[in-house]
Structure 1
Amino acid sequence: MTDLATEARAPASGIPFDNSYARLPERFYVRMPPTPVSAPALVRVNRALAAELGLDADALASPAGVEILAGNRVPEGAEPLAQAYAGHQFGGWVPQLGDGRAILLGEVVGRDGVRRDIQLKGSGRTPFSRGGDGRAALGPVLREYIVSEGMHRLGIPTTRALAAVTTGEKVYRETALPGAVLTRVARSHIRVGTFQFLFARKDLDGIRALADHAIARHYPAAATAGRPYLALLEAVIAAQAALVARWLGVGFIHGVMNTDNCSIAGETIDYGPCAFMDRYHPQTVFSSIDHGGRYAFASQPGIAQWNLVQLAQCLLPVIDDDADKALEAAQAAIDGYAARFDTELLAVFRAKLGLFEARDGDLALLQDLFDRMAANQADFTLTFRRLADLLDPPEGDAPAPRDLFVDPTSFDAWERVWRARLADEAATPDAGRAAALRAANPAVIPRNHLVEEAIRAAEDAGDPAPFEALLEALATPFEERPEHARYRLPPRPDQVVRQTFCGT
């Protein structure tokens, strides 16, 4: 098994790199530095995350730090590389993808003892760029910063944004746009597609080395299992089931659930054409490139299982020397995904419905609400958030959940069944249950029109104020602060965002 327990010492750069992935075989990646830019300027350093990593935020924000964040200077201790991977994109097999616009600088072990990657995204061309320029525009960088930090505050496992800088250069998509680089932090950037890259090349030694690394880094308990690689598969299945259930709990649509965007660490990764639903409908799609609705809201649990099947296929040769036994064991693990996901989903939504005890009819109660929300164009976030007000009414004339429904009596019919379900549990004061509901249902999410507003202000007018204000509101998503009232509102008809874009 890979040894990750090396001692990291802070170099002159102040970043205590300890780069375990760079110690893997060099066929897993290409060593190369980021491409310098002409005039880097700081947009933002995530000071809270820097503190978690044991880094000096002031040093990162200094001119020398910005040079590192832009890719103009490789800090001492870094071992920059572009990772190789393959993947299924919208179900179509691509044998070689890889980091086409990202460079992994290295890894640090944070104050919590967790090892994390530090990666520059938008840092120039690599051998995996496939004709692209390797750069990123400011808009997609801000989108990933906003949404990933919003997801973190919502308690959902995710990559995070350590910093964003502009490059002083233009990138060309449909029009010329200001360029930027995002510094992304992740528990790792190992994807299902990383295993697929090796499997497609029949590189069984590589699969073992990568699996050993993943076990040591993410799932050390698997190392002592009778079949460590089967235990790795089972652990990834559990992590993905929990992750996608949490996505559904906040109305999140990833948009590009390709296998190369599926992290084996169980984190949300690659915020391209992602979005949060306003009005609920299970078939909601925002991504401009998802023409067939493959990654619609309600399709995400099944797609996660499809991705896990691809991982299982890669691990079959190392799970057991007997091919039949390996297949039987892996199939059993995959077959267990559905029940595991249902358990995770019900745990998420029982909390969102204020249910403290499990009952057999809970899934039907939830599905009935979903059906009524879809038929009545009800706002996803506000419907759940306002349930607490029915038990502990706020002062004044507050809007009710029924006001979100085209036919309010449809909600009234569901509410009667819900209240009867609450009464079936052990007595709990309404105020206490309402507090639990407010802790489970956010008031503020990264709504699409607010994200777009922040991007437009920054890209078109050079105004960072909406970006900063939105991040401040997202920092306390379960609180209803008066100064954040506008961030709790659904979009007006003229503000509705119907499509989101990849940004590559």
Structure 2
Amino acid sequence: MTSLDQLNFNNRFGSLPEAFYTRLQATPLENPKLVAVSQKAADLLDLELNDSSTEQLTLVGGGSKVLEGTDPLAMIYSGHQFGSYNPQLGDGRGLLLGEITNNKGESWDLHLKGAGTTPYSRFGDGRAVLRSCIREYLASETLFHLNIPTTRALCVVTSDTPVYRETEERGSTLLRLAKTHIRFGHFEYFCYTKQQDALEALAEFTIQHYFPELADQNDRYCLFFKAVVEKTANMIALWQANGFAHGVMNTDNMSILGETFDYGPYGFQDDFNWNYICNHSDHSGRYAFSQQPDIGYWNCGRLAQALVPLVDDVSALQTTLDTYPTLYSAKYLSLMSERLGLRKEEPEDSELIKDLLQLLHEQHVDYTLFFRALSDYTVGQISSKLTALCSEPNSLKNWLQRYDERLRRNLEPDLQRQQKMKQVNPKYILRNYLAQNAIEKAEKGDYSEIEQLMTVLQSPYDEHPDLEHYAQKPPEWGKKLEVSCSS
């Protein structure tokens, strides 16, 4: 394990020409205070957490300490926001502090979110607030432990610096870890500004460092696109199977490594609703839960368009893009089959899954509680835990009869199946009201709820007898929380 001053920075992105970024330092916060720090994220950097390192993390997060070896910069990119192209976005409130190589040879970006104004702030103050930092801290660690590709969160720092949103709040920062911060929007920017050399340099850099197995291939740009399509389809299938809605699937929020990125008004399903909109600013429902698979396809199409200047055979990009629906559907069916404890795919499985989800939608059944209760189901025995979740139990009983027939063809003992199902159906998820409770306490200076909540979120499939209240059905007020992009 190493100290913060001994981290090995390589800063690969800074080796690109200055057309890709602006170098600048963070704007310090007043009287920074550490809110939360993740040991598991620190382990990725081989970073030892002790009084000295947490004190230094507080200063780094507060923008008043510059680590030796860092090369802070704000990236430039563009992107499609809610379907419309915005020609210049960029890191308006964040800085890539540097890239760290750990003892395993893995490279991690260290990124400070809420670092102050940059040339890309677009009239914003460049700051983040405590609630948004806590939400990203909790969410990124939650998704990681649900086996969903994601960026990670190292720590949250708050301060006495006033920040004005709907009300006065406290300026705060999040230190984020990611394998890369390169987005679909990076490629769009250099394509639409007709910077052919820069676009090619970006593609070569990306392939060299993140897809090295493609570096010597003549058609490496098409193969790179193929890999991104596969990773994106995989990520969104995992979102759907776990009932997760991102909320702002703009192309500048899409990682080229298929990792969940830039958390804002996200939400997990409570009462299942195909048309769930977690972002109350999304008036058209463009990023509703049911739309996420199609938006993933649409976004990949925007990346394909940005790569057109680099390829000789444009039809190859379209052919690859056309594989997305099949890739997504196959992955989603596989994930949902696991959640239902089904072995060896059968033709009727997709219909069985579809009918169950329609039942959950029509009866407003809690998504997580249902699948966890289903993990205890014994063939031929009506479960009171399941029927209690439904407003019309007879419809569920009819579905369970079909489910019984399917499970009997599994030729697998109930106990063995139940154990497997409990490894993919979490008991604990990050419901919006749980995050809100932690935020409200933190805003009063009590950070204990964050740590306690993290206990169950980092082992969501396990039983936590002393923390059962985190697995309960949310109160009615908790289902109606409004979350926006500023969250």
Tell me the TM-score normalised to structure 2 length.
Answer: 0.97
Do 2:4 and 2:53's aligned partners in 1 also have CA atoms closer than 8 Å?
Answer: no
Cα deviation code 1:206-226 (max 9, x no counterpart): 111111121122222222333
Give the superposition deviation at 1:59: 6.4
Q: Counterpart in 2 of 1:181?
A: 173
Q: Secondary structure of the residue that 2:160 maps to in structure 1? A: strand
Counterparts of 1:183 and 1:333 in 2: how far apart (Å)?
Answer: 35
Residue 281 (1) aligns with residue 273 (2)? yes
Q: Please, which of 447, 454, 468 is the counterpart of residue 431 of structure 2? A: 447
Q: Counterpart in 2 of 1:48?
A: 40
Q: Counterpart in 2 of 1:110?
A: 102
**Equivalence map 1:123-202=2 (5 Å):** 123-202=115-194
Paired AA for residue 342 in structure 2? L
Residue 413 (1) aligns with residue 430 (2)? no
Q: Secondary structure of the residue that 1:57 maps to in structure 2? A: coil
Counterparts of 2:278 and 2:294 in 1: how far apart (Å)?
Answer: 18
Do 1:287 and 1:500's aligned partners in 2 also have CA atoms closer than 8 Å?
Answer: yes
Give the superposition deviation at 1:311: 0.4
Counterparts of 2:207 and 2:64 in 1: how far apart (Å)?
Answer: 34
Residue 245 (1) aligns with residue 237 (2)? yes
Please list every run of 5 or more consecutive structure 2 residues that lacks an aligned counterpart in the other structure.
none
Q: Secondary structure of the residue that 2:158 maps to in structure 1? A: strand
Cα deviation code 1:112-138 (max 9, x no counterpart): 432110000001000000000001110
Paired AA for residue 118 in structure 2? T
Counterparts of 2:139 and 2:323 in 1: how far apart (Å)?
Answer: 31
Counterparts of 2:121 and 2:386 in 1: how far apart (Å)?
Answer: 48
Counterparts of 1:159 and 1:432 in 2: how far apart (Å)?
Answer: 33
How many positions carry a matched residue from both structures?
486
Counterparts of 1:174 and 1:248 in 2: how far apart (Å)?
Answer: 32
Q: Counterpart in 2 of 1:293?
A: 285
Tell me the TM-score normalised to structure 1 length.
Answer: 0.93
Q: Counterpart in 2 of 1:466?
A: 449
Do 1:390 and 1:400's aligned partners in 2 also have CA atoms closer than 8 Å?
Answer: no
Q: Secondary structure of the residue that 2:423 maps to in structure 1? A: helix
Q: Secondary structure of the residue that 2:461 maps to in structure 1? A: coil
Give the superposition deviation at 1:393: 12
Q: Secondary structure of the residue that 2:484 maps to in structure 1? A: coil
Do 1:68 and 1:74's aligned partners in 2 also have CA atoms closer than 8 Å?
Answer: yes
Do 1:152 and 1:158's aligned partners in 2 also have CA atoms closer than 8 Å?
Answer: yes
Counterparts of 2:427 and 2:172 in 1: how far apart (Å)?
Answer: 31
Do 1:59 and 1:65's aligned partners in 2 also have CA atoms closer than 8 Å?
Answer: no
Do 2:3 and 2:53's aligned partners in 1 also have CA atoms closer than 8 Å?
Answer: no
Residue 217 (1) aligns with residue 209 (2)? yes
Do 1:52 and 1:112's aligned partners in 2 also have CA atoms closer than 8 Å?
Answer: no
Give the superposition deviation at 1:43: 1.2
Q: Secondary structure of the residue that 1:389 maps to in structure 2? A: coil
Do 1:392 and 1:431's aligned partners in 2 also have CA atoms closer than 8 Å?
Answer: no
Do 1:51 and 1:57's aligned partners in 2 also have CA atoms closer than 8 Å?
Answer: no
Q: Counterpart in 2 of 1:496?
A: 479
Do 2:3 and 2:47's aligned partners in 1 also have CA atoms closer than 8 Å?
Answer: no
Do 2:151 and 2:176's aligned partners in 1 also have CA atoms closer than 8 Å?
Answer: yes
Worse-superposed segment, 211-220 or 61-70: 61-70
Give the superposition deviation at 1:68: 1.5
Paired AA for residue 470 in structure 2? Y
**Equivalence map 1:44-443=2 (5 Å):** 44-58=36-50, 61-320=53-312, 326-391=313-378, 399-425=384-410, 427-443=411-427
Paired AA for residue 262 in structure 1? M
**Residues 242 and 12 (structure 1), Cα distance of their counterparts in 2 relative to 1, 3 Å cut:** closer
Worse-superposed segment, 195-204 or 111-120: 111-120
Give the superposition deviation at 1:12: 8.0
Q: Secondary structure of the residue that 2:435 maps to in structure 1? A: helix
Worse-superposed segment, 304-313 or 221-230: 221-230
Counterparts of 1:54 and 1:492 in 2: how far apart (Å)?
Answer: 40
**Residues 388 and 161 (structure 1), Cα distance of their counterparts in 2 relative to 1, 3 Å cut:** same
Worse-superposed segment, 185-194 or 398-407: 398-407
Counterparts of 2:435 and 2:229 in 1: how far apart (Å)?
Answer: 31
Do 2:96 and 2:111's aligned partners in 1 also have CA atoms closer than 8 Å?
Answer: yes
Counterparts of 1:18 and 1:140 in 2: how far apart (Å)?
Answer: 29
Q: Secondary structure of the residue that 1:118 maps to in structure 2? A: strand
| CA RMSD, 1 decimal | 1.8
Please list every run of 5 or more consecutive structure 1 residues that lacks an aligned counterpart in the other structure.
1-9, 321-325
**Residues 108 and 399 (structure 1), Cα distance of their counterparts in 2 relative to 1, 3 Å cut:** farther
Paired AA for residue 75 in structure 1? L
Do 1:351 and 1:440's aligned partners in 2 also have CA atoms closer than 8 Å?
Answer: yes
**Residues 479 and 334 (structure 1), Cα distance of their counterparts in 2 relative to 1, 3 Å cut:** same
Q: Secondary structure of the residue that 2:199 maps to in structure 1? A: helix
Paired AA for residue 333 in structure 2? L
**Residues 162 and 209 (structure 1), Cα distance of their counterparts in 2 relative to 1, 3 Å cut:** same
Cα deviation code 1:43-71 (max 9, x no counterpart): 12212211221123226644333211221
Q: Secondary structure of the residue that 1:161 maps to in structure 2? A: strand
Counterparts of 1:484 and 1:339 in 2: how far apart (Å)?
Answer: 40
Counterparts of 2:57 and 2:441 in 1: how far apart (Å)?
Answer: 26
